[in-house]
Amino acid sequence: MGFFTDTSVCIGCKACEVACKEWNAVPDDGLELSGMSYDNTVGLGADTWRHVAFIEQHKPLASQESDALSMAETGDGETGFRWLMSSDVCKHCTEAACLDVCPTGSLFRTEFGTVVVQEDICNGCGYCVPACPYGVIDQRKDDGRAWKCTLCYDRLGDGLEPACAKACPTDSIQFGPLGELRERARGRVRQLQDAGVHDARLYGENPDDGVGGDGAFFLLLDAPEVYGLPPDPQATTRDLPSMWRHVATAAAALAGAALTAFLGTVREKRK
């Protein structure tokens, strides 16, 4: 199970942010104005499990006629203005590096294929924070424990959809089986491209990418970097097996050298 977020119909209402905080009892993250358009939550963190980004661009949405509203040239010759809005969330990676590095088992894979933090057994080591290729996981300053989206694990167990998807008024956030969502998303991309939105693309739906595919993927209207997403995310622990093999080889070599030296010393004493 997972999320498909269609950013082309996101209206930036932030209902998902509010629903997430309310259902999961996530504390407020400060009531300060950032000066970044209407984006005052700025990014994901321990106290922000859903983040709606507002990206301002002087760029038309599609190749439309010059008299089209909002997307056409203005009277002074400047290009049209648009907002790209996107509700970001933990990607619930198939190959989740945070799971690999957690020493206590606080992070686990649920029966729905999602990744959840059990805060009651998190020891606050923080290993998962740099392990995440998306920079999603964060620690709370008051207790040091890691927190992130659980994809409303408690609601899924009762047959309910996550709070953010339930609250979304435009169905920008869609929840369901990943196979069905991916098929629906590809159809939506074709529809947009046929309508002239040639920059429409999917992000995170490919199971052959560096994290084995995301459990939360997106339809974007520009390059991933524009949304603050890595263009080619990689599981940060992908090299661990080979690293451990090298460590084992080095340890065996050192042990062999030490044994050889010890036997040599014993022989010398016997002489």
Binding residues for [4Fe-4S] cluster: 10, 13, 16, 20, 90, 93, 98, 102, 122, 125, 128, 132, 149, 152, 164, 168
Rounded distance between C-alpha atoms, residue 57 and residue 37, angstroms: 11
Residues 6 or more apart whose CB falls under 8 angstroms from that of 90 comprise 44, 49, 115, 134, 136, 137, 148, 149, 151, 216
CB half-sphere exposure, 194, CA atoms < 13 A: 6
DSSP letters along 220-241, please? ESS-GGGGT--SS-B-TTTTHH
> Is 241 in contact with 28 (CB distance < 8 Å)?
no
Binding-site residue set? 10, 13, 16, 20, 90, 93, 98, 102, 122, 125, 128, 132, 149, 152, 164, 168
- In sequence order, what DSSP letters do the residues of 71-117 get, joined into one string? TS--TTSPPP-EEEEEEE-----SS-HHHHH-SSS-EEE-TTS-EEE
Closest residue by Cα to residue 12 from 90, 87, 69: 87
Q: Which amino acid is at 80?
A: G
Q: Are 122 and 146 contacting, i.e. CB atoms less than 8 angstroms apart?
A: yes
β-pairing verdict for 216-220 and 2-6: parallel
| Three-state DSSP state, 251 | helix
User: Is the Cβ–Cβ distance between 33 and 146 less than 8 Å?
Assistant: no
